Amino acid sequence: MFARKQQKFVLFFAAFIGFSSISLGIDKPTNDLDYSALLGVDSIRAEAKVNFSAYVSDLYDDLGDTSLLYTAFEQAMTGYHNLDKYDKLKRKNVLTVIDFSKASNKKRLYIVDLCNRSILYKSVVSHGVNSGRLFARNFSNENNSRQSSLGFYVTTFTYTGKYDLALRLDGMEHSNSHASSRGVVMHGAEYATYEFLKKNGSLGRSYGCPAMPYENFHQVVDWIKEGSCLFIYYPSRSYKRYSRYLNRNKYLEDFILV
């Protein structure tokens, strides 16, 4: 038991150092090791993957909410750490996961507080009108598709428009690279409220935007705006195969224990 607790501490500390080096102002230790080269060694890469899996599993257990699908969370953490290693994130204390394998009458948006290892907020969220009705089944990156787009986004800035406050999203992959030109943003909407859900049995649908209830939306934006990771999940083998941030190994550099 002591050995397992000691291992958990080491794994958390290793990941925390990488996470905190910028976001919490702690200097990351430097040495002469070439971590990229080390990952070229099969045994070291395999051990780093085991360490990462243990770290994610431990964090998931601490969240204490099994309504967040583990597979979605594990993929989100993989992409989050890869985005961090490529210096794509400015706000690293939160991670947003949208699980489109769930029906729109369920809470399927999760904001994870990575510092306090807890679920900060959960909400219903809409999908695109051409992605499906109760369930999202179809996804597209094409203009005028009116479908949701899978993959990793980085939040940017807010603006005031048709739906009052909105948060711009920068698509980071082949599956969502047209998000900006399509006008895919997070916003509040009357068709995405709990009142609408109660009356109709499912949420209304957007033109591809992840729309949310107006209630607490300003707080949500304050939590995640200006450089945090947002991941839209669906169990798509095609997306997983070609995802830029699920298939890079750079994230494993922080899980090499030397």
Q: 16: burial class by Cβ within 10 Å (0-12, 13-18, 19+)?
A: middle
- Tell me the pLDDT band of 11, cut-offs 50, 70 and 90: low
pLDDT of residue 30: 52
Indicate the average pLDDT of the chain. Answer: 90
pLDDT of residue 14: 52
pLDDT of residue 161: 85
Domain ranges, ordered by start, for the chain: 2-255
Q: Is 147 left (phi over 0), alpha (psi -120 to 50) or beta?
A: beta
What does the alpha-carbon distance between residue 65 and residue 84 come to, in Å, rounded to a whole number?
25
* Number of CB atoms found within 10 A of residue 133's CB: 13
Q: Between vectors from CA 72 to CA 68 and to CA 219, what angle results, nearest 5°?
A: 60
Point out the least confidently predicted range of 18-32, 40-54, 109-123, 233-247.
18-32
* Number of CB atoms found within 10 A of residue 70's CB: 12
Q: Is the separation of the CB atoms in 249 and 85 below 8 Å?
A: no
Residue 125 has pLDDT above 50, yes or no: yes
The model carries a pTM of: 0.90
pLDDT of residue 33: 85
In CATH terms, the superfamily for domain 2-255 is: L,D-transpeptidase catalytic domain-like (2.40.440.10)
Per-residue pLDDT of 137-178, as tens digits, reads 999 999 999 999 999 999 999 999 888 999 999 999 999 999
pLDDT of residue 21: 39
Provide φ and ψ at 172, rounded to 5°: -105, 0
pLDDT of residue 23: 35
Point out the least confidently predicted range of 25-39, 107-121, 182-196, 210-224.
25-39
Q: Is the separation of the CB atoms in 126 and 192 below 8 Å?
A: yes
